[in-house]
């Protein structure tokens, strides 16, 4: 599922790995937000995408000595 240059198949695999590491309620929330995003018009999608990047509840900067809980890296 990985491509030689780290393309979309590799990114999709990382997202799926992160999804599988979410709790059931987090998975349900993710699916709900993804469906809202898919059903939105392009302008709403842009607004939602920008909102996702700015509304993080916790920000980790730099290495922590352990793997990312979302993607495993």
Domain layout of the chain by residue ranges: 23-52
DSSP secondary structure letters along 30-59: HHHHHHHHHHS-HHHHHHHHHHHHH--S--
Report field, pTM of the whole predicted structure over 0.85 = no
50 CB neighbour count, 10 Å cutoff: 10
Residue with tokens 């842009």: 46
Whole-number Å distance between alpha carbons of 67 and 73: 5
**Could you read off the pLDDT of 3-37 as tens digits, one per residue?**
555 577 888 999 999 999 999 999 999 999 889 88
Query: Under a CB-based contact definition with an 8 Å cutoff, are residues 46 and 54 in contact?
Result: no
The pLDDT tens digits of the residues spanning 27-69 come to: 999 999 889 888 888 888 888 777 765 444 555 566 666 777 6
């Amino acid at each position: 599922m990985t491509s030689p240059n780290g393309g979309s198949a590799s990114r999709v695999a990382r997202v799926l790995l992160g999804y599988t590491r979410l709790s059931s309620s987090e998975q349900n929330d993710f699916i709900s937000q993804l469906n809202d995003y898919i059903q939105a018009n392009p302008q709403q999608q842009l607004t939602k995408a920008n909102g996702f990047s700015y509304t993080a509840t916790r920000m980790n900067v730099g290495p922590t000595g352990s793997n990312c809980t979302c993607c495993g890296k």
